[in-house]
Amino acid sequence: MGWEENVRRVVPYTAGEQPRKPGIIKLNTNECPYPPAPGVERMAARMDCSALRLYPDPDSTVLVKALAEAYHVKQEQIFVGVGSDDVLSMAFMTFFNSGRPVLFPDVTYSFYDVWAEVHRIPYKICPLDENWHIRPEDYRQPNGGVVFPNPNAPTGLAESLETVEEIIRANQDVVVIVDEAYVDFGGVSAMGLLEKYDNLLVVQTFSKSRSMAGMRIGFCMGSEKLIRYLNDVKFSFNSYTMNLPSQLLGAEALQDEAYFKEITGRIIATRERVKGELKKLGFLFPDSGANFIFATHPSIPAKQMFRALRQAGIYVRHWDKPRISEYLRITVGTDEQMDLLLSFLREYVALQPG
C-alpha cells in the first residue's frame, strides 16, 4: 500500500454530460436556453485584455457591490465564489465542524453528501415524504447544521417560506443553508429572513436564471459575521478565486433587471405549457417551481426512455438511484426545443406496447 494508505479518497460528484455535438437539444444540466443580458455581450466585446496581466481583485468588489445594490443588503453581507458549488463547499467547510451530523433531505442535490465526505463531515439524510416534500419535523433532532435547496432538486418542488422559517427557527444554534439555485423561477427567497436570523445563509447562482453557467458565478447572503468567517476560510485557500471577466460581466448582468424578468418569465411560461402537454401523455411529476420538470411515466421505464431520447439527440438527466430511477429530469429549454421533445415523446409513447 505505502503512500496510498494516506490518500484522501472520495467518490466524486458526477456532473451532467456536456456534449459538444452540434444540433443536439441539451436539457440535462438546467442551463438557461437564452443568452446572457445584452449588456454582458457588449462588455465582453470591448473587454480590455491587458487587464488580464494583473491578478483580479481578491474581494471581487465590483461584483459584491452590484449584488448588494441589487438585493438591498450590505456589501459585508455578500460572499462570492466560483459557482454556487464553490460557495456551498466553502460554507460546509466553514460552518459544519461540530462533529454532529449535518442534516439534508433525501432526495436532494447529490453534491451535498460528496462535500460532507470530502470535508469529513458526518451527515444524516431525512427522507422526503411521499409527495416529495421536506418534513420540517425531521429537522428538530440534534445536528451540526442544516442544508437544503428550495426549490429542491431534482424534484423541482418549492417549500413555502413558512416551512423554511420553521426549520430555521428550530435550528438557531447551527448554521442553516438554503440553496436557492432555482428560486428565480417562481420560488420565494428566504432572503427576507436574514434580518431575523444571523445563522441563515442564502445561496444563489448566475448559472440558471442569469444564463451565465459558463462564467461560474455563485454568491451567498448572510449576516456580516457569517460572511466574515467564510472569507477567512476562503482567503486561507486561494485569494484569487474569481477571475476578472466573471467579476465584471457578473456585475454587468445585474444591471438589466428587465431582461432577467423577461427570460425567467419566458421559462416559467414554457414550463407551465410543457407540464400540460406531458400530463396529456400520461406523465406524472411533482409541480415544479424550477427550470426543470422531474417526470415519470407509469408504463415506460425511465432508463429506456432516457436512452431513446439520447439516441434522438435530446439530452435529459437520469439517475440509477433508489426512489428516483423511474424519473427523468428535463430542463426547460426554448419553446422550439420543448416542442421537439414533445413531438418525440408523443410518438414514443404511442409506440409502446399496451
- Per CB under 6 A, residues contacting ligand PMP are 83-85, 109, 149, 153, 179, 181, 205, 207, 213, 218
CA distance 310 to 317: 10
Name the minimum Å distance from CB 339 to ligand PMP.
25
User: What residue number has its CB nearest to ligand PMP?
Assistant: 83
Shortest CB 181 distance to ligand PMP, Å:
4
CB of 352 to ligand PMP, least distance (A): 30
Spatial CA neighbour of 178 closest among 250, 93, 278, 108: 108
Compute the least distance from the CB of residue 301 to ligand PMP, in Å: 25
Distance CA 117, CA 12 (A): 9
Task: Please give the single-letter amino acid code of residue 11.
Answer: V
User: Given phi > 0 = left and psi -120 to 50 = alpha, else beta, which region is 186?
Assistant: left
Q: Looking only at Cα atoms, what is the longest distance across the chain?
A: 65
181, 84 in Cβ contact below 8 A? yes
Shortest reach from residue 109's CB to ligand PMP, in Å: 4
Collapse the DSSP code of 204 into the 3-class scheme (helix H, G, I; strand E, B; otherwise coil) and give the result.
strand
CA angle 289, 338, 180 (to 5 degrees): 25
Residue at grid coordinates 459584491: 64
Radius of gyration of the chain measured on its C-alpha atoms: 21
Q: Could you tell me if 122 and 101 are in contact, meaning their C-beta atoms sit under 8 angstroms apart?
A: yes
Closer by beta carbon to ligand PMP, 128 or else 300: 128
Q: Which is nearer to ligand PMP, 218 or 289 (by Cβ)?
A: 218
C-alpha to C-alpha distance for 211 and 35, rounded to whole angstroms: 6
Assess contact for 144 and 101: CB atoms under 8 A. yes
- Report the nearest approach of ligand PMP to the CB of residue 62 (Å): 19
Nearer to ligand PMP, 205 or 247 (CB): 205
| CB closer to ligand PMP out of 113 and 179 | 179
- Minimum distance from CB of 344 to ligand PMP (Å)? 25
- Between 37 and 300, CB nearer to ligand PMP: 37
Q: How far is the CB of 83 from ligand PMP (least distance, A)?
A: 3
Task: Between 286 and 297, name the residue whose CB sits nearer to ligand PMP.
Answer: 286
By the 8 A CB rule, do 234 and 79 touch? yes
Cβ proximity to ligand PMP, 81 vs 297, nearer residue: 81
Q: Which is nearer to ligand PMP, 144 or 218 (CB)?
A: 218
Which residue's CB is nearer to ligand PMP, number 81 or number 101? 81
A 10 A CB-CB count for 267 gives 26
Cα–Cα distance for residue pair 36/30, rounded to 1 Å: 15
Query: Shortest Cβ distance from residue 281 to ligand PMP (Å)?
Result: 26
Q: Which residues lie closer than 8 Å to 170 by C-beta, 6 or more apart?
A: 136, 139, 140
